Amino acid sequence: DAGVTQSPTHLIKTRGQQVTLRCSPKSGHDTVSWYQQALGQGPQFIFQYYEEEERQRGNFPDRFSGHQFPNYSSELNVNALLLGDSALYLCASSRDRDVSYTFGSGTRLTVV
């Protein structure tokens, strides 16, 4: 049974560009959350998607947006990239209202 799959695993972008990260949740999961983990820090909550809508959002600017598709997969979009957006982006999935999340291995984004 595949867990949470994220793509790509690594990417390098230039400041000011836009990026899209993708996440396929674990089979049977319908809720997807995104976290940003800066180097040497704990993950920080970006937002959560359920039933194709953003259910809750953390303290991140509007440059961060997302989408959930009918098959429960999700995308994270970041516009106007800043150097400070360099981080590991983690996707986590669960069943609705179940606090047992499964995390993916993440996408390492480097902004130069």
Partner 1 sequence: AQSVTQLDSQVPVFEEAPVELRCNYSSSVSVYLFWYVQYPNQGLQLLLKYLSGSTLVKGINGFEAEFNKSQTSFHLRKPSVHISDTAEYFCAVSDPAGNQFYFGTGTSLTVIP
Closest approach of Cβ 41 to partner 1, in Å?
6
Closest approach of Cβ 101 to partner 1, in Å?
7
* Beta carbons of 27 and 73 less than 8 angstroms apart: no
DSSP helix/strand/coil, 61: coil
User: Which amino acid is present at 110?
Assistant: T
Closest approach of Cβ 104 to partner 1, in Å?
5
The residue (of 85 and 101) whose beta carbon lies closer to partner 1 is 101
* Beta carbons of 25 and 73 less than 8 angstroms apart: yes
Interface ranges with partner 1 (CB under 8 A): 4, 33, 35, 40-45, 48, 55-56, 58, 90, 92, 94, 97-101, 103-106
The residue (of 44 and 65) whose beta carbon lies closer to partner 1 is 44
- CA-to-CA distance for 96 and 32, rounded, in angstroms? 9
The residue (of 9 and 17) whose beta carbon lies closer to partner 1 is 9
Sequence-distant (6+) residues with CB within 8 A of 99 are none
- CA-to-CA distance for 73 and 56, rounded, in angstroms? 17
The residue (of 104 and 111) whose beta carbon lies closer to partner 1 is 104
